[in-house]
Amino acid sequence: VSTKRLVLVSLLAAAIGGSIAAGRGRGRPAPTPEPTPESAALAGDQPGERDEAGDRSRGPAGLRAAPVAGAAGEPAIQSSDGFETLELTPQQKQVLHELEALGPTRLARAVAQIILGGYHHEALVAKNGLSMDEFAARRMAILKADPQRTLALLDGALHLPSLAQPDVAYARGTLLGIAAQLPQQGQRTSELALRELTERPLPPIPAPSPAQLRAASPEERAALTPPRPEYNVEAYAHAVYVETSPDPRAALGGTVKAIVAQQDPSLRTRLVGQLLQKHPQLASDLTAALASAGVFLPSAPAEATPSSEAL
């Protein structure tokens, strides 16, 4: 039902917008692009400017998206596809606050809504009827229009203390995903991804503890087994790196650096697989380069522990 309602509203908005645009178009110079609802929702500043009015209007945590006058004639914020109604955790609020401090506000809000929206995707879909792809695409349109400053923002975001914690690892990974979509920023994106891989080495995943092995139920074992999203994000950073590397040889060199830096055997094996999936012709070169670096990987990942088999 909500989807149908959204379609009707969208059609109505399009019809109204179209008639306005048509009216403007008669006998006049080509109009500037009409601001979309989402661009209005994210409005805080014009490119190159900070939105001080927007900053002042927010509450202490920077979450209240009450209608705010946009800069330089942009319309007031009316909606952010339901994002402003989400109940963010204190840590997520801190991420939002630190991102907005980086600015530009309009870009920072778009980034924040993408990376934090993922933690509330079910609520967002329920609220706005949009798929997450649609939700993100609206914000990416704004970010793609200003790729250089967006990339600078993403670079800064990867240094934020609030985004260094494992429990927001997927938000951190999504920053790289945003970078990978920016036009003509492949080289810089690959540098960010490689920095992520080489400057954030993860230790080997420890073997299950005796308490985990003795768990009497799946629920108890799950409670004793911490999620490790940061390992998945490192694999993703490598995927972004391979996709955005200028050529296969560069991808090979960076992959070797990443494997040397990372200590977890399963992650190392995964990076090998990802590179060879994209560039299978590099198999022998990769083996030689790793051997030169003193890294010898097993042909197959580690086997399951005997204890898990016993159950």
Q: Which residues of this protein are in contact with another protein, per CB under 8 A?
A: 114-115, 117-119, 121, 131-137, 140, 170-171, 173-174, 177-178, 180-181, 183-184, 205, 210, 213-219, 221-222, 225, 227, 229, 231-233, 235-236, 239-240, 243-244, 264-267, 269-270, 273-274, 277, 300-304, 306-311
By beta-carbon proximity to another protein, the closer residue of 71 and 154 is 154
By beta-carbon proximity to another protein, the closer residue of 36 and 181 is 181
43 near 71, Cβ under 8 Å?
yes
- Beta-carbon contacts of 228 under 8 Å, excluding residues fewer than 6 positions away, are 166, 205
Q: Which residue has the tokens 């940061």?
A: 230
254 near 191, Cβ under 8 Å?
no
Tokens representing 211 are 């308490």
138 near 110, Cβ under 8 Å?
no
Distances (CA, A) of 262 to 89, 184, 187: 30, 29, 22
CB of 71 to another protein, least distance (A): 26
By beta-carbon proximity to another protein, the closer residue of 86 and 239 is 239
Distance, CA of 300 to CA of 269 (rounded, Å): 8
By beta-carbon proximity to another protein, the closer residue of 203 and 218 is 218
CB of 311 to another protein, least distance (A): 4
E-only strand ranges, the chain: none
CB of 114 to another protein, least distance (A): 5
Distance, CA of 243 to CA of 240 (rounded, Å): 5
By beta-carbon proximity to another protein, the closer residue of 12 and 302 is 302
By beta-carbon proximity to another protein, the closer residue of 155 and 243 is 243
CB of 135 to another protein, least distance (A): 5
Rg, Å, the chain Cα set: 23
153 near 50, Cβ under 8 Å?
no
CB of 52 to another protein, least distance (A): 29
CB of 171 to another protein, least distance (A): 8
